[in-house]
Chains A and B, each alone.
Chain A
């Protein structure tokens, strides 16, 4: 399946399924099912270079929560890959949840990825992409121009 990322760089490490990886936790690449407990990776995130999260169907959104926990709570900074039902119209959500590589066989996926960050100039909620929310921008604007 073709692999995409915004920077064009992805790791070639072979991820182990979670159960196998638990036998070899020194291996830097792991693949999680939606039911695998991401919290268990906490002691290992510094050393992991690839975590693959799966979308059994594009409409199954459990991996979005897993991604946010890995990035936001566990502080994982390596490659976070989406696999399975991965379609271009999910990209705005996936990027915000911290995914940075994508396996997809959808036609035009690469071109869509290149344009995704131009779709929405505003976000309403904090996520894992560190974009300033509308609410924060309003606050700083008010502090520059006190309320009239």
Chain B
């Protein structure tokens, strides 16, 4: 069961300028590709502050924004929307491999 469904938990995300890779702002104000290291804002006000920090650190990333997340019983976070889940975990099907002659 999710502990917090209020929709107020959030992390800051963006795409990295040089390669477009999905990144998250960590507690130290650095951009990381690892979602589990993302700084979590626990309420609306904290979210606004997080977003401000993200925008202040936006030189190497494009258009930071807040991603609503939920927390499970083990303290793990997950984005709420499918779009953001896909940004975290990648394609929901197997892309064909470069050396594949058939899709399987």
Contact between chain A and chain B defined by CB under 8 Å: no
Interface residues of chain A, those whose CB is within 8 Å of chain B, are: none
